[in-house]
Chain A
Amino acid sequence: MERRSLAFQIFIHVCALLLAIVVLAPVLWLFVMSISSTNDLIAKPLHWWPQDVDFSRYELLLATTSNSAGAAFISALLNSLKVAGMATLAAVAVAIPAAWAVSRTPDVTWSLYIVIATYMLPPVALAVPLYMALAALGLLNTVYGLAMVYLTILAPFTTWLLKSGLDNIPREIESAAMMDGARLDQVLRIITLPLAAPVMATAALFAFLLAWDEFFYALLFTSDQRAKTLTVAIADLAGGRVSDYGLIATAGVLAALPPVVIGLVMQRALISGLTGGGVKG
C-alpha cells in the first residue's frame, strides 16, 4: 500500500467528518424537533437541544383515543401497512413465475425489457384512466383500489429483481432433478424457490419500501381515514395549519423508522441489488 503523508491523512479525516455532518445533521434535527417542546422550537435564538426533552408527541400519535391526532395517525399507519402489504404480496405472486420463465427461456427474455420500460412511464400518464376506473368500480378511497394501482410500480420492479436473482441459480440443478423425473412444479417448489428465498425476501422488502414511499397515487385516490396512507397524512400535516412543528417531525420520524431499519439491515443486499442489475446492462 501507498504511504500517505500526514497532511493527506488529516485532509481525508476532515472530509469524512464533513460528509458525516452533512448526512447526519438533517436526520438528527428531525429527531431533535420531535422531542423539543414548542417553546424550544420557536425560541430565538433557536435551541439546538431542547431545555425539556419531551417525548409526549410520540404518546399522542400512538394513542388510539378517538378523534385525536393519534387516531388519524394510527389509521394512516395501518392503511400504509395494508396497502404496501397487499401490493407486495400480489406483485411477488405474479412476478415469481414470470421471472422464472424469463430467466430460463431465452426466447421470451425480450418481453422483460418491455416490462422494465414501463417503469419509465410517469404516473401522470396512467392517472386519469385509473381514477375513472376506480371511480366506476367504487374503489376510490379504498386500500384495495390503491394496492391494485401500486402494482403498476411494484410488478415490473419485482419481476426485474427476481429475474436477476434467479439468473444466479444454476439451471443444471433443475435439469438434474428433471432427469430424475421430477415435474416442473416439484422442481420449483423443492429446489428453485428454497434457493431463491433470499432473493425473494429482498425483492419483497424493496417492493414494500416502494409502496411505503408512494405519494402521488395515494394523494389522488384516497380522501379520508378509510384509505389515506402515511405519506398523504404527513403531507397534510406539513401543508396544513398545524402550528406544532414538533408533531410534524414526530410523524416523520415514525414514518421513516421502518424503511430506515430495513435500509440499515439490508445494506449489503441493497447495494448488490442496485449495482448487480445495472452493471450487467
Chain B
Amino acid sequence: MSQTWITTRAWLLMLPLLIVMIAVIGWPLVDTVRLSFTDARLIGTQGSFVGIENYAKLISSSNFQRALTITALFAVLSVTAEMVLGVLAALLLNQEFRGRTLLRALMILPWALPTVVNATLWRLIYNPEYGALNALLTQIGLLDTYRSWLGEPGTAMAALIIADCWKNFPLVALIALAALQAVPRDIMAASMVDGAGAWSRFRFVILPYLAGPLMVALVLRTIEAFKVFDIIWVMTRGGPANSTRTLSILVYQEAFSFQRAGSGASLALIVTLLVTILAVAYAALIRKSAGGTA
C-alpha cells in the first residue's frame, strides 16, 4: 500500500468527524467572529457592520473589568484550594489504614454528582432560613444568628468556592494518588535509609512523580474554572449585587437576556482568547518542566 493511499484513507475515515466538527464548532465559531463586528440582535435584525466598536466599548466597561477580576479570583482561589487539598488527600489515601479501599471508592461521589445537583445541594445547605450550615454553626456555638451566605457580597464568593472545591478536589486526589502509586518503593525505602525527612522525601522523591499529572490536572481545572457558568448560575445567578458575576454569566446576560448578539459575541471571543492564552502559557510551562526533569 502506498503512503499516499494510507494518508488519503485516514482522511476519508475522519471525514464524518470533520463534517460534524465543522458544522457544530467551526462554523459557529467563525460566525461568532462575524457577529462580534456587528450590532446584530439575537432575534430579528441581522445588524450592520460596526467595526471594533463592540470590543472598544467592552474593554473599557466597568462591568467587563469587574467580571474579569471576579473570574480570575474564582479560578485562582478554587483551583489552588483544589490542588492543595487534592494532594493532601492523595498522600493520606496512599498510607495504610483500615477502610482505605472504601474511602478511595467514596472519592468518586462528589465527582459523579452532576454539577447542577451539586450547586442545588449547596444552595440548600447555605439556605438563610433553614440551611444546614446555619443550623450546624449555631448548634456548635460558632454563630449567634442565621446568615444569608449566598445573599451577602462578603460571603457569596467564598461559599461558591467551597461548593466548587468540594466537588473537584477528589478528582485531583485520585489523579495524584494514581501518580503516587507509581513511585517505586525501593527509592522511598532508600531515601529513608539515607535519613531523608518527610519534607525532603516529598520534595525530592515524590514530587517529581506528581508534577506531570498534577500539571495536567491544573491546566484542565484552570480552564474549566475560567469558563465557569453552571454552579454560579444555579447558586447565585451572579448576585448579590453582581459580586459573583463571572465572564460567562456576563456573556449570557448580554447575548441572551438583553439579546445583544453582536456585543455578546465579542465578549465571548474575549473570553475564548483569555482561555487560549492560559492554555498556551501552561503548555509552554509543561514542556519546559518536562524538559527540565527528563
Contact = CB atoms under 8 A, between A and B. Distances in A.
B120 A238 contact: yes
B268 A275 contact: no
A144 interface: no
Given A19-B89, A23-B170, A33-B124, A45 B139 contact: yes
Interface residues of A, number: 95
Interface in B172-186: 174-175, 178-179
B109 A23 contact: yes
Contacts of B29: 121, 125-126
B213 A275 contact: yes
B112 A121 contact: no
A44 B189 CA distance: 55
Contact of A19 (B20, B25, B92): B92
Interface string B23-51: 01101110110010000001100000000
Interface stretch (B52-60, B61-69, B227-235): B227-235
Nearest to B122: A26
B174 A159 contact: no
B132 interface: yes
Contacts of A213: 114-116
A63 interface: no
A81 interface: no
B165 to A, nearest CB: 10
A94 B106 CA distance: 34
A22 B279 CA distance: 31
Contact of B255 (A12, A121, A124, A264): A124
A129 B92 contact: no
Contacts, number: 278
A53 interface: no
B25 A12 contact: no
Interface residues of B, number: 99
Interface string A118-159: 101111111111111101000000000000110110011001
A203 B122 CA distance: 30
B216 interface: yes
Interface in A226-259: 230-231, 234-235, 237-239, 245, 248-249, 252, 255-256, 259
B108 interface: yes
10 contacts: A2-B192, A23-B110, A98-B17, A121-B275, A125-B271, A215-B115, A215-B233, A235-B119, A245-B127, A255-B116
Interface of B: 3, 6-7, 9-11, 13-14, 16-18, 20-21, 24-25, 27-29, 31-32, 35, 42-43, 89, 92-93, 95-100, 103, 105-117, 119-125, 127, 129-130, 132, 135, 138-139, 166, 170-171, 174-175, 178-179, 189, 192, 212-213, 216-217, 223, 226-227, 229-230, 233-234, 237, 248, 251-252, 255-256, 261, 264-265, 267-269, 271-272, 275-276, 279, 286, 290
Given A132-B31, A159-B17, A215-B230, 12 more contacts: A12-B97, A20-B99, A26-B122, A26-B166, A45-B139, A98-B16, A105-B6, A125-B271, A215-B233, A245-B124, A272-B178, A274-B175
